[in-house]
Structure 1
Amino acid sequence: MISCKQESPQYVTQVELQPSLQLQELFINDLTTCNSYIDSLKSTTHTDSLKFYFKKARVEFKKMEPILSFQDLNNYNFLNAPNIVKVEEEDLTDIKISNPSSFQTLEENIFSDAPDVASIHNTAAKLQSRLQVLIRNTDIKFFKPYHVLWLIRKQFIRTATTGVTGFDSPVLENSLMDAVTAFAKAEQILNLYDHNFKNDQLKRTWKQKFQDSKEFLEASNFEEFNRYEFIKLHIDPMLVLWNKTAKDWQVQFPLQMAIDNNATSLFSKEALSIDYFAGHKVTPLTEDKIALGKRLFNDNQLSTSKEISCATCHKSDIAFTDGLAIPKGLTRNSPSLTYSSYQQDFFYDKRAGSLEGQIVSVINNTQEFHSDLKRFTEHINEDAEYITAFKTAYNTTIDQNTVRTAIANYVRSLNYWNSKWDRNIRNEVNTLTYSEINGFNLFNGKAKCATCHFAPVFNGTVPPDFMETELEHLGVPTKSVTENAVIDKDLGRFNVYKTENRKHFFKTPSLRNVAITGPYMHNGAYNTLEEVIEFYDLGGGYGIGITDQEYQTLATDPLNLTDQEKTDLINFMNTLTDEEFLKESYTTK
């Protein structure tokens, strides 16, 4: 009897370990096969062979993607990096600049008019070196069911937000077949853990959903693919299934990541964790907290001049912008504060790493509050109503930290998720027109907007990890022209660290509520969305004559959008206006 009791726990441990052992073997096999194709690519000079082995290797890379991107994000990002110079700026003494050696680098070189074989072989050697390190050192035998569920969900989100946009297949636009490959691997991984299912019907539903998604992806080409229906009919239902599976498996998640563990729709207020982006616990944002922050936000007595408040440049009736190209005394356009909590850096040049830091900077700016946090706080501490409000909302006295926290948390509350777009894709109403839906599909396809403005926030914070908010050099001119343009003199990110190849780089803002937040760009150069679309359609700065800026991040070729396609794009963007701002007195700018 004693012997029996000793053996039983060992048997259970072996059963639980077995799926992870199989997962490890599965992953190593994919790595090894990919490495083999890269080795063949590295050994050939014939163009057709280079193309053949690249496509084979990339299929294997997509099979690896669900596990690799979850287990080793740094190596995944290296292997999948865009073909642009990468700059990492930690501080003035730690700036790293590197050229990419990735699958995207190979794709753009191999499928160009004049492939550089020596460069292709050099890139392939670097990829092979990474793959071999992964083969030797990867250990995922410790994975538990919650790891597996996380990595599967991460693949769904990636496919919906970057995968079907051509983000990492810029030349071949092979995104739909990439999704088929990655989803097949996700299903294979889920099947390794099928002994966890208590509900057999749930298991069968998964099988049918994977099959339906595959058929939907295979039934179209890149430009005609209906991304709206894909998210509404496949991705969101998979998120619902995922939540049911977590409950069926009785999984306890140890923490929250960017995507909330209870999210059942990509375009919902509950999908993204505000705490994750804040870097600390800020929720719940109670009515008392919001009311206090709103009062501080609108109090012009807090500025030295007693004439301005946060609301001076961020008016609540126009999505917290001011309608000006550039506010008096400042140098850049006032961006909307709606949805600004879903980013990793603040200001157009990303010089602040948090909302709290941005608020301090505004208070200190001689052209804005022209104060400091100490004087700012002293004034508030003299107001009995403020003292009571802080006690009620935060159960604390007033100091510099609680003041900036209160304002920051009010800004974090400005996320509504109730636009016409949101309500339709969540299947609450059915009011989108063909033009609006086509505009979304163009946005994610032919027009290439979504390779910089990522769903669901449509800003530059890259899903599915949401760890980085991107900078771009678009070649923004001094004024709205279509030829002989001159680059705007603002050097953007360069002013922060003086990195030469960061001149004219600016943060990608959210396009939510964009219909009412013009003028557009960091300098307010464009008054209308029609002008903005024309700028992109011509090929950005290159297309309007700004050809001396080598680090521009837009493709140089025109998009060749038709007039109807431009109208559809704008109609889609108009659907991103939240209900709070939909009043007859507001006009699309």
Structure 2
Amino acid sequence: MKQFKVMKLIAGMFCSCFCLVVMVSLTQPSRTTTGVEPAVLFFKTQSDSFAIAALQLQTALAAIDKDKPATLANSREALKRCRVHYKKIEFFLAYFFKSSSLIYNAPPKVEIEEPYMEYQEPIGLQVMEGLLFEKEVVAKKEVLLQQADAIASSAKDLHALLHGFQADDKQLLESIRLELIRVITLGITGFDAPLLKSGLAEASASLEAVQYVIQPYLSRGAPQADSVTKYLGGCRQFLQEYQDFDSFDRMTFLTQHMLPLQQYVGLLIKELNLQYNTTGGTINYEAGNIFSPDALNLLAFPRAGTQADSALLALGKQLFFEPGLSGNNKVSCATCHNPALHFTDTLTTSLAFDGQAHVRRNAVSLLYAGFQYEQFWDGRAKSIEEQVRTVINDPKEMNGGESTILSLLQHKPTYTRLFKEAFGQQLDTMTLINQVALPIAAYVRSLNPRNSRFDRYMQGDHTTLTAPEVNGFNLFMGKAQCGTCHFAPLFNGLVPPLYNLTELEVLGTTKTDNLDQPEMDADYGRYDIFQIDFYERAFKTPTVRNASATAPYMHNGSFKTLEAVVEFYNKGGAIGLGLDVHNQTLSALPLNLSKEEVNDIVQFLRTLEDSVATYIPEKK
């Protein structure tokens, strides 16, 4: 019955893929197809190899025997080979046939992603990896074989996707651009296969595909062709020479090879006049690379609209510090989000309206808040505007509202003029609460300094980080698996390569940071909003930028130090500590980080601290 469900899902996905092909082909009024035919031929050849690898995986799994440990090792190696073959066609499948790609490489557990929450039965190679590393693998053999059968049977029909297929050079080159981002942010972090630790081999396979597909464009005499060839070759050579996943020097790989490659591929596409952007503008292809400060377009995020003008920002900043928005004329946004404290309040949980009690959760920093698809720890607000309205109206927080705003306007008539300057004639159609929420939200969206030592290093000043800090970055993006939830470049839950989703995770955060006697925290997170099983204890993944200045940590403020936070992950979250969290999305396996490695990760996190001097109001 389970297998039937899986195959039924696959059939539906193939149908949606054909619809996508038709849609894509109809939206292109003019096209050049220099590289399309070679790319299709490459896809056919490599999909045949993937299908063979899938059959070999099926055979290896069928041979698993509890009395023959070598059969388990063989199965893991067969899975690794199958994954590497998949990576050679990923750029094509994920771009032109996105639904089909989910059959092979969907997350191993139900993902909690906003703003588009869709339930999908976990299926594919990532699911199989998890099963192959469980204690009682033999007990999971039937499920493994069902998964393998689903993959093998669909892989042999991949050619069918090409029936009536049409594409052009612009689309093909964008698929390559997105694959480069996958390698940078997911491949070398081990996102797809954290237990197999096959990320480097998979990244190499992805770049092999890039090298083949981009070749026709390099022979057209483009000025950037030599640079693309140089850095692409350098990337592949570096991956082949340094194959140990845990000790891989990601910083050198990125700064000396991969990021220059991304930059020159972008310049090549621009000079060939083959730019194309299907990301809804989220990715700015004019940026040098994904770590450039302008790589992600803030205006593509919820309700951001157009660039806020100076009058709106000035009004928003003034309102942010305005206690007259609260019912007692004492509390402002800055009370819990103090710029001098990197827009937090250093409290375990913030003080409530009465100044005595506390609200339920920790005040997370507002820096980079605009780069999210939901707000609050449980994601209940879908925009910053909604968050502002909620906080102002909440009796436990600011206890304000329309009457309070009206009173403010009466006592401070200069606001009437400022609102008029900011909104013009539109002001007459707006509610009072929106007149306040819109400028405050615009101000919060402007809080994106990107001036940390890490940022300066990534922009070329290699004097700003020490060797332990660089090692901490390498660990963060590799062995410690931090980068598989706190995604580059903002190190929050914004999911690459499209950055069109924000992840919530179930960590099983404990009541205190006493990991020797762990107790479960009573907060059920997003489950209190939607009572769905996989929402239990789910919380937003915040950025770790400025974490060194925003203690205490977690939704409940239960962890006092960064060392304690890293050690919690090192032990495998709640399950690793022996607690029962049935839907934990964090791997329960220990990371086996040494004390020195934990220290280096913490040192790296300190490099993400921005200067916020420009946000601190002058003393009057």
TM-score (norm. length: structure 1):
0.89
Deviation at 1:162, TM superposition (A): 1.4
How many angstroms apart in 2 are the aligned matches of 1:243 and 1:402?
Answer: 41
Q: Tell me: CA distance 1:77–1:360, structure 2 relative to 1, closer, same or farther (3 Å).
A: farther
* Residue 79 to residue 328, structure 1, CA distance change in 2 (3 Å): same
**Unmatched 5+ residue regions in structure 1?**
1-12, 584-589
The 5 A counterparts of 1:184-583 are 184-194=208-218, 197-199=220-222, 201-220=223-242, 221-253=244-276, 257-278=281-302, 281-283=305-307, 285-329=308-352, 330-372=359-401, 374-375=402-403, 378-379=406-407, 382=410, 383-398=412-427, 399-400=430-431, 401-546=434-579, 548-580=580-612
8 A Cα contact 2:572 2:590, kept in partner: yes
Select 2:190's aligned residue among 166, 172, 180: 166
User: Structure 2: which amino acid aligns with 1:188?
Assistant: Y
Q: Answer yes or no: is the 8 Å Cα contact 1:277–1:344 preserved in 2.
A: yes
Once the 2 structures are TM-superposed, how far is the Cα of residue 102 of structure 1 from its aligned partner? Answer: 1.3
Comparing 144-153 with 500-509, greater Cα deviation is found at 144-153
Percent identical residues: 32
Indicate whether 1:70 and 2:95 are aligned: yes
Amino acid at match of 2:44: I
Distance 2:441 2:112 in 1: 29
User: How far off its partner does 1:245 sit?
Assistant: 1.1
Question: CA 1:74 to 1:191, structure 2 compared with 1: closer, same or farther past 3 Å?
Answer: same
How many angstroms does 1:521 deviate by?
A: 0.7
**8 Å contact from structure 2 (residues 321, 334) kept in 1:** yes
Q: Which amino acid letter does the alignment assign opposite residue 172 of structure 2?
A: V
Contact 1:277-1:343 at 8 Å conserved across structures? yes
Aligned to 1:57: 82
Q: Label 1:457 to 1:429 Cα distance change in 2 as closer, same or farther (>3 A).
A: same
Aligned residue identity for 1:82: P
Which one is further off, 499-508 or 485-494? 499-508
Tell me how far 1:310 sits from its aligned partner. Answer: 1.0
33, 36, 45: which one aligns with 1:29: 45
State the Cα distance separating 1:563 from its structure 2 match: 1.9
Is the counterpart of residue 109 in structure 1 residue 131 in structure 2? yes
1:3 aligns to what? none
Range 485-494 or range 468-477, more displaced:
468-477
Query: Contact 1:160 / 1:235 at 8 angstroms: preserved in 2?
Result: yes
CA contact (8 A) 1:198 1:249 kept: no
- Three-state SS of the structure 2 residue aligned to 1:259 is coil
> Following the alignment from structure 2 to structure 1, what is the Cα–Cα distance between the partners of residues 589 and 394?
41
What residue is the counterpart of 1:10 in the other structure?
Answer: none
Q: Is the 8 A contact 2:191 2:484 kept in 1?
A: yes
Change (3 A) 1:345 1:545: same
| 1:500-533, Cα deviation, whole Å (9 max, x unpaired) | 2321111111000001101111111111112212
The aligned amino acid for 1:352 is A
Q: Distance in 2 between matches of 1:441 and 1:562?
A: 14
What is the deviation of 1:394?
A: 4.3
Q: Match for residue 38 of structure 1?
A: 54
Give me the whole-angstrom Cα distance separating, in 1, the residues matched to 2:418 and 2:475: 48
Q: Deviation at 1:119?
A: 1.3
Cα-Cα RMSD: 2.7
What is the CA distance between 1:406 and its match in structure 2? 1.4
Q: What is the identity, as a one-letter code, of the residue corresponding to 1:106?
A: M
Question: C-alpha distance in 2, partners of 1:140/1:421?
Answer: 47
Distance across 1 between alignment mates of 2:564 and 2:79: 39
Deviation at 1:489, TM superposition (A): 0.5
Q: Do the aligned partners of 1:24 and 1:140 also contact (CA within 8 Å) in 2?
A: no
1:183 aligned residue: 207
Contact between 1:339 and 1:414, CA under 8 Å: does it hold in 2?
yes
| Paired position in structure 2 for 1:586 | none
Local SS of the residue matching 2:391: helix
Q: What stretches of structure 2 of length at least 5 have no aligned partner?
A: 1-28, 65-70, 353-358, 616-620
Kept in 2: contact 1:319–1:581 (CA 8 A): no
Give per-residue Cα distances to partners, 1:266-308, cap 9 Å, x unaligned: 223211100122355332x443332221111111111222221
Change (3 A) 1:389 1:254: farther
Among residues 173, 176, 181, which one is paired with 1:157 in the alignment?
A: 181
Equivalenced residue count is 563
Q: Distance in 1 between the 2:497 and 2:195 partners?
A: 22
Q: Deviations over 1:12-42 (max 9, x none)?
A: x999345323323332333343233323433
Change (3 A) 1:409 1:542: same
Q: Report whether the alignment pairs 1:19 with 2:35.
A: yes
Matched to 1:325, the amino acid is: T
* 3-state SS of 1:16 partner: coil
Deviates more, 1:236-245 or 1:41-50: 41-50
- Quote how far apart the aligned CAs of 1:564 are: 1.4
1:59-138 aligned at under 5 Å gives the runs: 59-86=84-111, 97-110=119-132, 112=134, 114-115=137-138, 116-128=140-152, 130-131=154-155, 134-138=158-162
Residue in 2 that maps onto 1:8: none
